[in-house]
Amino acid sequence: MKRILLILFLAAGCFSSFAQSSDEYIKLKLQRKENLTVKEWNTDARNKTKWLDRVTVYDSRGHKISETEYNQYGQSWRETYEWNDQDQKVRETRYNDKDKVAYIRKFEYNEDGTRKKQYTYLPNGKLYTVKIFEYSRSDE
Report residue 41: phi and psi, to 5°: -115, 145
Contact status, residue 26 vs residue 33, Cβ threshold 8 Å: no
In this structure, the number of other CB atoms found within 10 A of the CB of residue 4 comes to 8
For residue 71, list its beta bridge partners. 74
pLDDT for 34 beyond 50: yes
pTM metric for this prediction: 0.75
pLDDT for 90 beyond 50: yes
Mean pLDDT, range 29-44, rounded to an integer: 89
